């Protein structure tokens, strides 16, 4: 079996290299100048997965004048949206110092990002699953006060995925769940003293600053957002009101709403001809892996009967507002730390569709998938396609019959009704052992089509290494079993992970930073000096004051307001206070204070 990557022609390969160089250029534009980095971009093929939202029931055909009949009639659920998932992982490393006589150049990972891309016939969702750092970025010895490039690298990679996964007239959503934790992807990295673990408040602010350039239409992102009709951000922090949530956004941000966009990004709310006008809350909440919303939704699903789900959804909560109110008292949201849910919605130029347009598109795409002549099969699936025709009983019998020994029509022997069993062929001759073949490349099954009604998988948006679902899970599982506690362990773990992912072949993307290093982040008021000369009152010179009016008179206290201390005469005791006109005592011995008789209380004698 040949490598499917060889089937890609030269033009597609050159275009892929061009866009990978574009990723390297974008990373270099935000990394410190004259510093060398290595980026490892790992991705998977689009694989069919479960739908993010539960499908609602189809619109009832009962008489609307009789609502009791509509509620009692059995309603059947609709078909879930066909969903595909593509996973991306980006790792960035820096050069590690050499130990002793070590001649080979070593490196250590400093950043890891794991992102899932869910695609349907209606929209594309980019979900940030995990983000973590090792804390070894201090090996670069950047100037004190210089900004960390981790935030810029994260923002650039998200922009790259948004640009490469844009589809015409398809909505795109960037979503993440911010939760403070000591380590996510690099075990033992919390032991490193150089790692700065953000608390809950600073982590939410950090992610808002990362996503804010995607929302604001500034000069750097206008070219990438000129095809979008509207870009808007949404932020929810369970347990906080709008006034308290506003403090987590940058001061320059304005395209943000302190609410959720679940109704805006759902297909079911836009197709009133197929579904009811009031969609249950259970059908509007997406469920991602390792998400507190997904765990809460699963508990509500287990406690509700199937008939009740189709009629009106959960008994409680009934609306999305009630759901978010209850989320403030659930698991991570009620553990004493703040958690944030952030969305960035990219609306295409034409978001309005005709009634039933989206559903008809979904049905037409489903019909395309079921056509026997369609040259498409689900990727990473070794079984036959759904379009394979049903085999007859004769075909099944012919498949079971061994091909090595052709069977003859069974004839009944005289006096014996049992059939003659075919004899097994006995192998004879010399046994020639085969040499073991070392697996040098990953044999990932690539889909035959790059663009379908359900997903878009361009060549320029793939990683340096493309694996299937099982290969990607092994790579991430290997990373989670390594140790990054000390620098020596981190260097060893980095070398093992980079070698085993691509079978000891070099797949690094070399990047040299081009950004000037500044001791403090630039501000909008840079270059302007505040002049306070008009607000400062200076003291008048002495010559000018003498030339003018006479100086103000000096206040002199009268003789009757000054009390002088009485002088001590010879033989007076200095410890004795002076008294007004009373004659002083001439005794040289100190006087003893004797209490009066009225001030002494004698103890009563017992009777």
Q: Where are the alpha helices (DSSP H) in 222-339?
A: 222-225, 242-245, 292-302, 306-311, 320-327
Q: What is the mean pLDDT of residues 360-372?
A: 38
Query: CA 209: distance to chain centroid?
Result: 13
Dihedral of alpha carbons 326, 331, 337, 342, sign: negative
Per-residue pLDDT, averaged over 31-43, amounts to 93
Which has the higher per-residue pLDDT, 125 or 422?
125
Helices 320-327 and 292-302, packing angle to 10 deg: 110
Of 257-271, 294-308, 368-382, 463-477, the one with minimum mean pLDDT is 368-382
Phi, psi for residue 32 in degrees, rounded to 5: -60, 145
Closest CA to 461 of 132, 119, 223: 119
CA torsion angle 563 568 574 577 (round to 10): -40
368 in a structural domain:
yes
**Residue 274 domain flag:** yes
| CB contact at 8 A, 49 and 85 | yes
Higher pLDDT, 375 or 479: 479
Q: Is the pLDDT score of 585 beyond 80?
A: no
Mean pLDDT of the chain: 75
In a domain, 18, yes or no: no
d(CA 454, CA 363): 12
Whether 436 has a pLDDT exceeding 70, the answer reads: yes
Q: Is pLDDT above 80 for 584?
A: no
pLDDT at 146: 78
Instruction: Please check whether residue 255 lies inside any domain of the structure.
Output: yes
pLDDT at 562: 61
Q: How many domains does the chain have?
A: 1
Residue 574 lies in a domain: no
pLDDT tens digits for 528-547? Answer: 455 555 455 555 555 554 55
CB atoms within 10 A of CB 439: 7
Looking at the whole model, is its pTM more than 0.85?
A: no
Among the listed ranges 124-138, 344-358, 491-505, 506-520, which one has the minimum average pLDDT value?
A: 344-358
- Residue 379: predicted pLDDT: 36
544 token code pair: 């000018």
Q: How far apart are the first and last CA of the chain?
A: 121
**Cα–Cα dist 45/61, whole Å:** 41
* 51 contact partners, CB below 8 Å, separation of at least 6: 80, 81, 82, 83, 120
Question: Beta partners for 108?
Answer: 94
Asked if the structure places residue 233 within a domain, the reply is yes
For range 45-59, the mean pLDDT: 89
pLDDT (tens digit per residue) in 469-511: 999 999 999 999 999 999 999 999 999 999 999 888 889 999 9
Q: Which residues are catalytic?
A: 291
Average pLDDT over residues 348-363: 47
What does the CA dihedral 323, 325, 331, 335 come to, rounded to 10 degrees?
170
**What pLDDT does 429 receive?**
87
Count of C-beta atoms within a 10 Å radius of residue 498:
20
Burial class (CB in 10 A: 0-12, 13-18, 19+), 125: buried
Structural domain including 265 reads 27-380+447-512
Q: What tens digit of pLDDT does each residue of 308-339 get?
A: 887 778 888 989 999 999 988 887 777 778 89
- Tokens encoding 414: 């005289």
Residue 23 and residue 493 in contact, taking contact as beta carbons nearer than 8 Å: no
Instruction: Summarize pLDDT for 176-201 with one digit per residue, the tens.
Output: 999 988 889 999 999 998 898 899 99
pLDDT class of 253 with cuts at 50, 70, 90: confident
Phi, psi of 157 (to 5 degrees): -65, -40
pLDDT at 65: 55
- Asked whether residue 302 carries a pLDDT value surpassing 80, the answer given is yes
The answer to whether position 534 is within a domain reads: no
What pLDDT does 329 receive? 86
Question: Is the separation of the CB atoms in 124 and 167 below 8 Å?
Answer: yes
548-555 average pLDDT score: 57
Give pLDDT, residue 354: 34
* Cα–Cα distance, 455 to 152 (Å, whole number): 28
pLDDT for the residue numbered 471: 92
- Choose between 576 and 309: higher pLDDT: 309
Q: What percent of the chain has pLDDT over 70?
A: 64
């Amino acid at each position: 079996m040949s490598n499917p990557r060889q089937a890609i022609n030269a033009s597609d390969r050159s275009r892929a290299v061009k866009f990978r160089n574009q990723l390297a250029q974008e990373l270099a534009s935000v990394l410190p100048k004259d510093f060398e980095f290595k980026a490892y971009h790992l991705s998977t093929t689009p694989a069919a997965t479960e739908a993010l939202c539960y499908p609602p029931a189809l619109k009832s055909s009962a008489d609307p004048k009789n609502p009791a009949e509509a509620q009692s009639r059995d309603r059947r659920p609709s078909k879930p949206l066909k969903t595909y998932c593509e996973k991306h992982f980006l790792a960035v490393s820096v050069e590690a110092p050499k130990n002793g006589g070590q001649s080979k150049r070593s490196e250590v990972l400093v950043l890891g990002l794991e992102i899932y891309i869910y695609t349907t016939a209606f929209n594309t969702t980019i979900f940030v699953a995990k983000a973590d750092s090792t804390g070894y970025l201090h090996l670069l010895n950047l100037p004190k006060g210089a900004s960390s490039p981790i935030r810029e690298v994260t923002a650039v990679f998200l922009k790259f995925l948004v640009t490469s996964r844009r589809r015409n007239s398809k909505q795109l959503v960037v979503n993440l769940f911010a939760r403070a934790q000591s380590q996510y992807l690099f075990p033992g990295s919390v032991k490193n003293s150089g790692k700065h673990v953000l608390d809950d408040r600073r982590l939410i602010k950090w992610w808002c600053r990362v996503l804010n350039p995607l929302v604001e239409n500034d000069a750097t992102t206008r070219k990438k957002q000129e095809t979008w009709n509207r870009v808007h951000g949404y932020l929810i922090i369970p347990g906080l009101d709008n006034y308290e949530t506003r403090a987590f956004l940058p001061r320059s941000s304005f395209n943000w709403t302190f609410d959720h966009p679940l109704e805006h990004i759902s297909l079911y709310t836009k197709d009133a001809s197929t579904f009811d006008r009031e969609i249950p809350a259970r059908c509007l909440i997406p469920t991602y892996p390792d998400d507190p919303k997904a765990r809460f939704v699963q508990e509500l699903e287990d406690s509700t009967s199937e008939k009740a789900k189709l009629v009106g959804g959960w008994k409680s909560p009934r609306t999305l507002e009630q759901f978010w109110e209850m989320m403030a008292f659930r698991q991570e949201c009620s553990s004493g730390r703040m958690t944030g849910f952030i969305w960035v919605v990219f609306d295409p130029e034409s978001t309005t569709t005709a009634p039933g347009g989206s559903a008809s598109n979904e049905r037409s795409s489903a019909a395309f998938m079921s056509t026997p002549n369609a040259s498409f099969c689900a990727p990473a699936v070794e079984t036959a396609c759904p379009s394979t025709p049903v085999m007859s009983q004769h075909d099944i019998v012919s498949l079971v019959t061994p091909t090595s020994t052709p069977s003859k029509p069974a004839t009944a022997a005289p006096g014996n009704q049992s059939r003659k069993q075919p004899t097994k062929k006995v192998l004879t001759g010399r046994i020639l052992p085969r040499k073991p073949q070392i697996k040098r490349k990953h044999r990932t099954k690539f889909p035959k089509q790059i663009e379908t009604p359900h997903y878009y998988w361009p060549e320029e948006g793939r990683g340096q290494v493309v694996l299937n679902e099982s290969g990607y899970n092994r790579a991430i599982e290997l990373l989670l079993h390594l140790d990054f506690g000390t620098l020596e362990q981190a260097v060893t773990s980095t070398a093992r992970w980079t070698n085993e992912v691509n079978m000891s072949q070099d797949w690094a993307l070399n990047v040299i930073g081009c950004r000037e290093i500044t001791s403090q982040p630039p501000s909008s008021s840079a270059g302007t000096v505040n002049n306070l000369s008009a607000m400062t009152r200076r003291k008048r010179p002495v010559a000018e004051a003498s030339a003018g009016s006479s100086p103000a008179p000096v206040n002199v206290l009268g003789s009757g307001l000054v009390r002088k201390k009485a002088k001590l005469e010879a033989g007076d005791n200095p410890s004795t206070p002076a008294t007004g006109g009373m004659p002083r005592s001439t005794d040289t011995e100190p006087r003893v204070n004797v209490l009066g008789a009225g001030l002494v209380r004698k103890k009563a004698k017992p009777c």
